[in-house]
Amino acid sequence: MPLPTTATWLLLVTNLPGHNPTLRMRTWRALKSAGAALLRDGAYLLPEAGSCRKVLDEQRTEIKRAGGSAHLLAFGADSATQQAELAALFDRTGEYSDVMQRLEVIKGKLAKLSEAQARQLLAALAREVRAIAARDFFAAEARKQMEWALANAESALNARFAPDEPHPAHNIVRRCDRKDYRGRTWATREHLWIDRVASAWLIRRFIDRRATFVWLKRIGDCPKRAVGFDFDGAEFTHVDSKVTFEVLLVSFGLDQDIGLVRLGALIHHLDVGGIPIAEGPGFATIMAGARRLQPDDDGLLRAMTPVLDSLYAEYTIAER
């Protein structure tokens, strides 16, 4: 998680009158809604960001008006370690992960829902994500991934019920026809890792079954007629928060395949971070072992193909 090193923190220390449970509950709800971290009973922490000071000041005023005591203190972390520890109290990855799981359930039911039902469910999730984002003071990869997943689900919904509806500008990825990519030479950087090996597998399995691959020592050596992927300036590479595997899914209309989408979430997490996937550490370990055993990238792709086949099969069956 990228962390500011000079952030100022706000600490509200309270002592509420015991005879006023209504005030206690109202204070707790207001601070929870604002995203405050509870350090101990009566001590609430927020970063000096946005309207946080206003929220804490309002609660301090209300508590004092009711006969309690409250003090608002501002301070800076005394080290990068403390800064990281305090910022970690505001990690919203778990909340995004919960919403992501429910989104996957909804996506699996889209074909059976009416337009009104589907839009209502997605709108409810979007409101929840906005509420999380409002208290996500150190927005990291999980937030980008969640917002992309929602936009992608909305695009799928529009494609079904309103095919002429324009896509959001920030979510535009060029659509391609697989017929134009048959029997092509594809090129990427050598010494394959997660995104590149998965993208090569995806290309050969779903886009161009007769694909041949060139593994580049230097990007400048890419053949002119080759289709480049996963490097700066390549025809297919990272776009906004999408990794190359996810871009290929969207580009070739494979983003409605729930097994591939789930595999994309795994690749995304291992490549750039974000919402953790349970299988991630195991897959990365297998990949690292295969790199040690295989003499070259052709051998590595052959070794990882049954692993990716197996993951795709399980992800697909698990959603039925």
Q: Parse the chain into domains and list their residue ranges.
A: 8-88, 93-168, 178-318
The yes/no answer on whether domain 8-88 falls in CATH 3.40.30.10 is no
Contact residues for 54 (Cβ-Cβ < 8 A; gap 6+): none
Selected residue with higher pLDDT from 267 and 163: 267
For 28-56, what is the mean pLDDT? 92
Task: Write down the pLDDT at residue 1.
Answer: 43
For 301-319, what is the mean pLDDT? 92
Contact residues for 184 (Cβ-Cβ < 8 A; gap 6+): 208, 211, 212, 226, 227
pLDDT band at 167 (very low <50, low <70, confident <90, very high): very low
Q: Which residues pair with 69 in a beta bridge?
A: 15
Model confidence at 164: pLDDT above 70: no
pLDDT band at 166 (very low <50, low <70, confident <90, very high): very low
Look-up of token digits 């997660």: 194
Which ranges constitute the DSSP H helices of the chain? 21-34, 52-65, 80-88, 93-109, 115-134, 141-161, 194-202, 244-251, 258-272, 280-293, 297-318
Task: Write down the pLDDT at residue 162.
Answer: 60
Whole-angstrom distance, CA of residue 235 vs CA of residue 249 = 14
For 230-242, what is the mean pLDDT? 90
- Give per-residue pLDDT as tens, 187-205: 999 999 999 999 999 999 9
- Give per-residue pLDDT as tens, 131-146: 999 899 988 788 888 9
- When computed from its CA atoms, the radius of gyration of the chain, rounded to whole angstroms, is 24
